[in-house]
Amino acid sequence: MSYFQNVGPIKYEGPKSNNPFAFKYYNPEDQINGQSMEDFLRFAVSYWHTFTGEGTDPFGQSTMVRPYNTFSGMDLAKARVEASFEFFQKMDVPYFCFHDFDVAPETDNLSETLKNIDVIVAQIKENLKTSKTKLLWNTANMFSHPRWLNGAATSPNADVYAYAAAKVKKGLEVAVELGSENYVFWGGREGYETLLNTDMKLELDNLARFFHMAIDYAKEIGFTGQFLIEPKPKEPTKHQYDFDVATGIGFLKTYGLDKHFKFNIEANHATLAGHTFEHELQVARINGMLGSVDANQGDTLLGWDTDEFPTDLYSTTLAMYEIIKNGGLGSGGLNFDAKVRRGSFDPEDLFLAHIAGMDSFAIGTKVAQRLLEDGVLENFIADRYESYRSGIGLEIVEGKTDFKKLEQYALGLTEIKNKSGRQENLKAILNKYLLEAYNQ
Ligand code: XLS
Ligand code: NI
Ligand code: NI
């Protein structure tokens, strides 16, 4: 049975193609850094937005027309698995990601929920045998059910904490069973609403204990994938503990967890934290902790996680710049944590949206690669910091000076000359590279 009869396999047709159901820029076979574009970018489909999302918002009901909507309960879950593998194959994506709750219905009874997960995981495993698409990461949904209203591993209620542990324990077992390459922790409700009723120290200590137990259990059952923390400053909780990468690093180092984790960086979470996407990628990269990416974009006019498909070429270019400098994403990938708008309700929109996102990242990759090959920003930056490569600057960098010597040096200065940062010119150069990437 086919769930998406109207759409055939999506192929690369090149920039001149007018076929909406074809890649114009993403050619999986193109080379980047000695790897194919497909192997370098490691695109992933997010199960929740693509197959589970219904288009509801706080004011309105579901709008999505989906071929499996006639089913319910476990039948719906099973139909979604079949539809998802058809989608993966037609999109030709190498990876997908899911929360336990996306694939199997969660009930009020834990053992029943775990059984539901087992049934669906067995079905996914069967599909994986014949599919090229693999599991990039899985995670536990510990934010939808009412029991999580005060958090999971930071809940004031120890019973909830134990329940959360049971879910993550299962998640790690599923990760092993399906060969997942990573395991993600996004703490949607790990934070607080008001300090008037919160013991922040206990909550943070408990969160760290939770992570340590996860590491121990992963070791025990032989899960060798990468642990990832996905920072987000707020939403649904007012203040989330994993606010941004820098805050996450501070937390991990405080609790001796930093060797075990990298970050899964989401573009829209970066902007919610008041940073650019590339800022978060760079903070992770320079600390050796850039693990994976949730590729999406926000809306400057809206102050929440709109999870739009990424189409902003400046953003994809500057993100790919960081990713190429990082030498790729290792076991991570580019997961489209993105949803079609409520008004884009046709099943075909799911394909069109992924094509838009994949093409946008392919363009960004090509532009970033050329910028790096020509050393455009590298050379400019090297020149800007030139004063640290000789004389007093070199002494600073090599730790061979002190306040007294620096004072002596400063007293001897007659004139200080600064150099222009040339921001506007650099942006114009970026424009030139963007326009030329496919017009040569
Ligand atoms: C929500 C998050 C979530 C994580 C996985 O804002 O992006 O979807 O990626 O739990
Ligand atoms: Ni995300
Ligand atoms: Ni998000």
Decide the pairing of beta strands 261-266 and 290-294.
Answer: parallel
Residues at CB less than 6 angstroms from ligand 1 = 99, 139, 184, 186, 230, 232, 266, 294, 305, 337
pLDDT > 90: what percent of the chain? Answer: 99
Give the CA dihedral 39, 327, 430, 426, nearest 10 degrees.
Answer: 180
> In this structure, which residue's CA is closest to atom 4 in ligand 1?
186
Q: Give the type of residue at 139.
A: T
pLDDT at 439 over 80: no
* Cα–Cα distance for residue pair 80/105, rounded to 1 Å: 12
Q: Provide φ and ψ at 355, rounded to 5°.
A: -60, -45
* Cα–Cα distance for residue pair 2/352, rounded to 1 Å: 18
Radius of gyration of the chain (CA): 24
* Residue of 431, 311, 314 lying closest to 376 (CA atoms): 431
pLDDT at 236 over 80: yes
Atom index in ligand 1 nearest the CA of residue 48 equals: 8
Helix extents (H) in 131-266: 158-178, 200-221, 245-254
pLDDT at 440 over 70: no
Q: Which residues sit opposite 12 in a β-bridge? A: 23
Q: Which residues sit opposite 184 in a β-bridge? A: 228
Over the stretch 389-422, which tens digit does the pLDDT of each residue have?
Answer: 999 999 999 999 999 999 999 999 999 999 999 9
> In this structure, which residue's CA is closest to atom 8 in ligand 1?
337
Tokens of residue 312, six digits: 């902003």
Catalytic positions, written as ranges: 99, 102
Q: For residue 264, how far is its CA from the centre of ligand 2 (angstroms)?
A: 8
Over the stretch 147-172, which tens digit does the pLDDT of each residue have?
Answer: 999 999 999 999 999 999 999 999 99
DSSP string over 67-109: TTTT--HHHHHHHHHHHHHHHHHHHT-SEEEEEHHHHS---SS
Reported as type and span, the H/E element at residue 240 is strand 239-240
74 Cβ partners below 8 Å, 6+ apart? Answer: 104, 105, 116, 119, 120
pLDDT > 70: what percent of the chain? Answer: 100
* Cα–Cα distance for residue pair 38/27, rounded to 1 Å: 8
Which of 45, 227, 294, 335 most suits a substitution to test ligand 1, by most atoms within 8 Å of the C-beta? 294
Per-residue model confidence (pLDDT) at position 196:
98
Q: For residue 320, how far is its CA from the centre of ligand 1 (angstroms)?
A: 21
* Cα–Cα distance for residue pair 420/392, rounded to 1 Å: 21
